[in-house]
Amino acid sequence: MSGYLSGLIGILGINIIFAYSIYICAATGQLNLGGAGFQAIGAYTCAVLSETLGLPIPLLLIMSTLVGATVGFFIAFPILRTRGVYMVLATFAFAEVVAGIILNSEFLGGPTGLVLSEYIEFNVIIGVAVLVVFFCFYLMSTRVGLAMRAVHDDEAVADLMGVNRRAIQIGAFAIGGALAGLSGGLYALYFGFVEAQYFNAFLSIFVLLYVLIGGTQTAWGALIGASFFTIVPEVLRMGDDWRFFIFGLIIVAMMIFRPEGMVTRQAIDKILFKLFSPGQRNV
């Protein structure tokens, strides 16, 4: 396999995990524009622990995940006091604060970043990504997942039905932070270098687009959205200089004709009905 293809597969796996970190929050109706901040926390946790303590790779990834989950849990309390666009701005501000702390910290390398001596192959990333996808599909099929969808669809009705809305939303932020931290740890180990400039506002916007364009109604949305935003730009790169214009047109068209996302609950139900109820088509 060529280096280009293996690199693309590695980036795809990281993006899928990153997308699910935002999807988990979006599944409860919370738009998180601070994804880059959580991923930076995971990446720098991995880099610092690798170079200072020399921890093995599995433990580095576990620590990146745990630190991301811890930050997500505690940051949820002030952020969930806001609503709507103010929540989006609050999460965006969180990401900017994280970037500012890193840039002004000599211990974290400042603007020059940190170099890692440890390294992982792309197949490790794909294996972890597959586990994350299965975990998210399983989570959304449990009672917790049903409660998350209930909060997403109507918070007032969810409260009336006895769903602990605040606990569900805080848990979603913690899980989202954990997955973003994991994706950051994988990024650091795969590229062997981290710098604050990579974890910028555009990264937060892009990963949110992965989820919104893919769809927030089912767990398929994050997978399809991340794959689309990772592969299509690379395919267009092989074409002419109009690739950014063409890609922009595709996104605008999808927002006009599929505002609910590429994958919806209704579309999945129709596909499952056709696959598992063939006799109904002849009625």
- Neighbouring C-beta atoms of residue 235, cutoff 10 Å: 10
Q: Which residue, 43, 52, 27, is CA-closest to 150?
A: 27
Where does the chain show beta strands of DSSP type E?
114-115, 193-194
DSSP 30: -
Q: Extract the tokens encoding 82.
A: 């806001």
Is pLDDT at 269 greater than 80 in this prediction?
no
Predicted confidence (pLDDT) per residue in 7-41, tens digit = 889 999 999 999 999 999 999 988 889 999 999 99
Read off the pLDDT of residues 165-179 as tens digits, 9 standing for 90 and up.
899 999 999 999 999
Sign of dihedral through CA atoms 111, 112, 115, 121?
positive
Number of neighbours of residue 269 by Cβ within 10 angstroms: 11
Condensed to tens digits (0 to 9), the pLDDT of residues 93-117 reads 999 999 999 999 989 988 888 999 8
Residue 283 has what pLDDT?
43
Rounded Cα distance, 169 and 27, in Å:
9
- pLDDT tens-digit profile of 214-244? 888 888 989 999 998 888 888 777 666 676 7
Domain boundaries, the chain: 3-201
> In Å, how far from its chain's centre is CA 8?
17
Half-sphere exposure of 74 (CA within 13 A, CB side): 7
* Residue 110 burial (CB count, 10 A): 14
252 pLDDT band, cuts 50/70/90, is confident
Section 151-178 average pLDDT: 89
Give me the pLDDT at residue 136, please.
95
* pLDDT band at 282; cut points 50, 70, 90: very low
